[in-house]
Amino acid sequence: MLDRTIAPPIIDPIDFDIKLKPCTQFSLDNKVPVYAVNAGAEELVSVEWLFYAGNNFEQRNMIAASVNYLLKNGTATKSAFEINEAFDFYGAYVNTACYNETASIVLTCLSKHLPQLLPLVRELITESIFPENEMAIYQQNQKQRLAINLKKNEFVAGRLIDAALFGAQHPYGKYTTVKDLDALTRDALIDFYKQFYTNGTCFIFIAGKLPADIDRQLNRYFGDLPFSGHSPVTKKLTGFLHPAKEKIQTVVNDEKSVQAAIRIARPFPNRHSSDWQKMQVLNTVLGGYFGSHLMSNIREDKGYTYGIYSFLENRIQESALVISTEAGKNVCEATVVEVWNEAKKLREQPIEKEELQLVRNYMMGSILSSLDGAFQIINRWKSYVLNELDEQFFYDSMQTIKTVTAEELRVLANKYLLEEDFYQLTVS
């Protein structure tokens, strides 16, 4: 019997032996790879159809995002209302998302309803027709949303910092305009849809409490579709890279606003860099959590902002280290000064042992929470698949968190936290 008079031992997350639940793989008849994590106590399942159909592949801006959004808005046999009703009848949720390289359709439902719902998803992939009236509603809604967002300094800053880093024509740097929305045509959407969805490159990721015959079900509805080969086909983006010549920019967006959005960013290698995993630790120290240097100084001590964070962008080909905050107009310059003061400290002074131990525990605890459930586990595996990594990357990351030294992080700070390498943008 448990003796409740004795307190349980306290174990730091850094001492946990965390394991990544394996991901099984099989292929459909048409060679579509399926990655599966069978876990969970509830009869719930998530199925994601992921295509190389992001804005990297579009000929004109907004085509990829528009196709992805309008997939559910009409097929050869069903209206948008009927499609939504069909999924709602089974208590299912269907979401679509479009990114730089990829786009996806995600179905979340009870496991027992897959036989009724998989044919509906097949219909979205093979028979969507992009009705003119749905397109018109979409264009109007997007223009209204854009008009509202353009009044927000943080929205404008997010657009302009990416354009500064990569160039306005780069898939990572381009952004939507009203002109782009007006230029959309149904024929262009259908052409993109047929090339990159119906005949596109597809991966399937499934997680949850899976039916015993999940392979047969998926093969029945998707194993005969004319999907193309499955080697990574993402276009290399080096020819698009045209960063801004001016590294410090100030933009007046709303003269009446009392706050300004500040973005400070620099290019950074992708996950295949030998510095990536160590940089995750250094970034956490700098601005990656609530106890970071930036937060402690600029929020807690100076009171210039409610929050300031740094992060590495989650992109496949090229990444960026970004520092992001909103501050009062009268303290923007002081905020930037303090950012570089903290960067200088990290370049010159090794991180104290106690602080580094705290960061190690925080990061290991974050990894634990990110593995809480089958859906989160499959998302980690998806990241590895798309970035051409394997589970060793997971264990190497944990080993780096546990063993990286303060001196190694100081050397890394001298490599990546130099003011002259960053683009600085203030939008007020």
- Identify whether 5 is part of a domain: no
Q: Is residue 415 part of a domain?
A: yes
Question: Within this chain, do residues 358 and 284 fall inside the same structural domain, yes or no?
Answer: yes
Are residues 157 and 139 located together in one domain of the fold? yes
DSSP state of 74: B
Is there a contact between 139 and 184 (Cβ–Cβ < 8 Å)?
Answer: yes
- Number of folded domains in the chain? 2
Mean pLDDT across the chain: 93
Residue 243: its pLDDT value, please? 77
Mean pLDDT along residues 311-321? 91
Pick the last residue of a domain from 236, 255, 277: 236
Cross-sheet strand order for the sheet of 202-208: 24-27, 33-38, 202-208, 44-51, 103-110, 93-98
Tokens 């079900």 sit on residue: 217
- Alpha-carbon gap, residue 325 to 263, rounded angstroms: 7
Looking at the structure, tell me whether residues 210 and 320 fall in a common domain: no
Say whether both 173 and 31 belong to one domain: yes
Q: What CATH number is attached to the domain comprising 112?
A: 3.30.830.10
pLDDT at 366: 93
Query: Which helix (H) or strand (E) is 323 found in, with range?
Result: strand 319-328
Q: What is the pLDDT of residue 8?
A: 83
At 14, is the pLDDT very low, low, confident or very high (cuts 50, 70, 90)?
confident
- Per the CB < 8 A criterion, the answer to whether 375 and 255 are in contact is no
* Whether residue 349 sits in one domain with residue 221: no
Look at residue 7 in the predicted model and tell me its pLDDT: 86
Per-residue confidence band for 3, with pLDDT thresholds at 50, 70 and 90: confident
**Predicted confidence (pLDDT) per residue in 197-225, tens digit:** 999 999 999 999 999 999 999 999 999 99
d(CA 268, CA 319): 5
Residues contacting residue 220 through CB under 8 Å, at least 6 positions apart: 118
pLDDT of residue 20: 94
Tokens of 277: 């995993």
Q: Name the residue range of residue 210's domain.
A: 24-236
Q: What pLDDT, in 10s, does the model give residues 64-108?
A: 999 999 999 999 999 999 999 999 999 999 999 999 999 999 999
Residue 12 lies in a domain: no
Residue 219 counted as domain residue: yes
Of 292, 317, 295, the closest CA to residue 306 belongs to 295
Domain boundary, last residue among 180, 207, 236? 236
Q: Are residues 48 and 79 in the same domain?
A: yes
128 and 227 in a common domain = yes
- Tell me how crowded residue 300 is: count the other CB atoms within 10 A of its CB: 10
- Tokens found for residue 106: 């995600």
293, part of any domain: yes
Interatomic CA distance for residues 59 and 254, integer angstroms: 33
User: Six-digit token pair at 33?
Assistant: 């790879």
> 95-130 burial, b if ≥16 CB within 10 A, otherwise e?
ebebbbbbbbbbbbbbeebbeebbebbbbbbbebbb
Does residue 240 register a pLDDT over 60?
no
Percent of the chain surpassing pLDDT 70:
97
Same domain, 252 and 358: yes
Mean per-residue pLDDT for 120-146? 97
Q: Phi, psi (5° rounding) for residue 68?
A: -60, -45
Q: Are strands 259-268 and 103-110 parallel, antiparallel or unpaired?
A: unpaired
Which pLDDT score is estimated for 10?
Answer: 79
314 band by pLDDT with thresholds 50, 70 and 90: confident
Same domain for 230 and 255, yes or no, is no
Q: Does residue 56 sit within a domain? A: yes
pLDDT given at position 235? 52
Per-residue pLDDT tens over the stretch 151-165: 999 999 999 999 999
Residue 241: predicted pLDDT: 62
In angstroms, rounded to a whole number, what is the distance separating the alpha carbons of residues 415 and 289? 22
Domain identity same for 118 and 232: yes
Grouping H, G, I as helix, E, B as strand and the rest as coil, residue 328 is strand
**pLDDT at residue 9, as a whole number:** 82
Same structural domain for residues 189 and 319? Answer: no
Last residue of a domain, one of 202, 236, 270: 236
Task: Read off the pLDDT of each residue in 325-345 and give the average, rounded to a whole number.
Answer: 96
Q: CA-to-CA distance for 107 and 159, rounded, in angstroms? A: 30
The per-residue pLDDT for 11 is 79
Element spanning 379, H or E: helix 374-386
Classify residue 197: in a domain, yes or no. yes
Residue 177 forms part of a structural domain: yes
Q: Does pLDDT of 259 surpass 70?
A: yes
Q: Are 289 and 283 in contact (CB under 8 A)?
A: no
If pLDDT is split at 50, 70 and 90, which confidence band does 378 have? very high
Q: Are residues 214 and 111 in the same domain?
A: yes
Structure token pair of residue 249: 């920019």
